Amino acid sequence: MALDISKPTFFWGFAFLLLSSLSGCSEKAVQQIDTLNIASANQPSNALTFIAIEKGFFKAAGLEVNIEDFPSGKRALNEGFLNPDKKFDLAITSDMPFSSAIHKGHSLVTFANIFSSDDVNRIVARKDRNIFKLQDLAGRTSRTIGTQENSAVHYFLTRILEAYNLNGEVNVKFMAAEMLPTALSEGSIDAFSMREPYVTQAREMIGEDNLSILGAYGIYHQYDVLVSAPEIIQMKAPAFGKFVSGLLQAQDFAIKHPDEALNIVAKKLNVSPEMLNKTLTLNDLKVGLQQGLLMTLESQQAWLATLDKKKMAHKTNDFTDFFYFPVLEKVAPELIAIIRPDPQN
C-alpha cells in the first residue's frame, strides 16, 4: 500500500526527524573543542585560572587547557612561553615581567588583565635582625634583602626603597622565588620581598612570632596579565576567546561563592584561607583591559631604562602597541577601559 503523505501523521513525523537532525548538527557545533597550552604562574593573582579549572568552566566553553605551573609569573614567561624548546600559546604573568620582556625587544602583547591589587606583596623580615617596620630596613649595618629580579616583587621593593629614601642603604640579592624562605631561615638574608605561597613557607620554617610581615598598601598597583604573540592569537582566535569566557565565568563564581572560591585558591597554593584572605580580595579578580595597566607599563619602562642606561628596544610613544584588543572586543567589549589614540591624528 502506498504511503499517504497528505496525512498529518506523516507531516509531524517528518518535522520531528528534521528538527532532530538540525539539533544534532547544532550540538556537534557546540562540542567543537579547541586547545591551548599555557605557562601558568603559581601565585594568588592567578586565582581566576585556578577557579576556572576546578569548576570546569574552560571545558564548558569548549576549551581544553594544558597547564604547566611555574613558581612565578616571571618564570612562566621566560622559562615557559619564551623558551624555544617549549610550545606554549600564552603565559600568565605579572606586569613587570611583561614590561621587562618588552624592554628586551620581544614581540609580545597582552589581551587581558585578570587581577589588580595594591596590597598583594609583602616584605618578610627577621625580628632578630631588629626589623619591625619598613624604616628598619636601613638599620645600623647594611641589610641584605632577597627578591626575584625584574619581577613584580622586585618593582614592589624598589618602590619601597624610593618611598623611604633607602636606596643605597640596603643590599638587594637576586634569587629564585622558591629559594627565598630557606635563605631567610638560614640567615643569609635579613628579609625578602615576595608574596604567597612563600610568605607562608617562611612562617612555617621560622615561626610567625619571629617574623615581621610588612605590607605597603598603595605603593604599587600590580596587574597580572595574559601574554602571547599577535600571530598566535590570530591563529587560535576562537580558543583565546573561550579562555577569556572561562575566566569571566570564574569571576562570576567568585562573586557568588566567595568562600568556596577562596578555598580553591588556598588549596592550590597550599596556604590557609585565613592567610590568603589577608592579601587577596574578590575585588582584585577582574578581567579587562584597564587604563591603570597602561600607566604602570609606562612607569616600569622608564624605570628599566634607568637600570641599564639603554634605549628601549621598542621605540614608541604609544604603549597601546603592546595591547591586543580583538579578543575582548569580541567577548566582552565593555571591559576595555583603555584610552586609545585617535588613528586619524
DSSP per position, 114-130: EEEESS--EEEEEGGGT
Q: What is the largest CA-CA distance in the chain?
A: 108
Residues of the chain with CATH 3.40.190.10: 32-116+222-335, 122-214
Q: What are phi and psi of 314, to 5 degrees?
A: -95, 115
Give the model's pLDDT for residue 24: 52
Give the model's pLDDT for residue 5: 42
What CATH class does 122-214 carry? alpha beta
Look at residue 171 and give its three-state secondary structure.
strand
Q: What is the pTM of this model?
A: 0.88
User: What's the CA gap between 212 and 196, in Å, rounded?
Assistant: 15
Give the model's pLDDT for residue 1: 42
How far, CA to CA in Å, does 291 sit from each of 30, 40, 106, 301?
A: 35, 24, 22, 16
Q: What are phi and psi of 234, to 5 degrees?
A: -65, -35
Contact, 47 vs 260, CB < 8 A? no
User: In the chain, which residues have pLDDT < 50?
Assistant: 1-6, 10-11, 13-16, 18, 26-28, 312-313
Q: What are phi and psi of 214, to 5 degrees?
A: -115, 130
Query: Could you read off the pLDDT of 96-124 as tens digits, one per residue?
Result: 999 999 999 999 999 999 999 999 999 99
Place of cell 596587574: 223
With 0-12 / 13-18 / 19 or more C-beta atoms within 10 angstroms meaning exposed / middle / buried, residue 28 is: exposed
Place of cell 572561562: 246
Which residues does residue 92 pair with via DSSP β-bridges, in sequence order? 226
Nine cell digits for residue 203: 612562617
32-116+222-335 carries CATH number 2.40.40.20: no
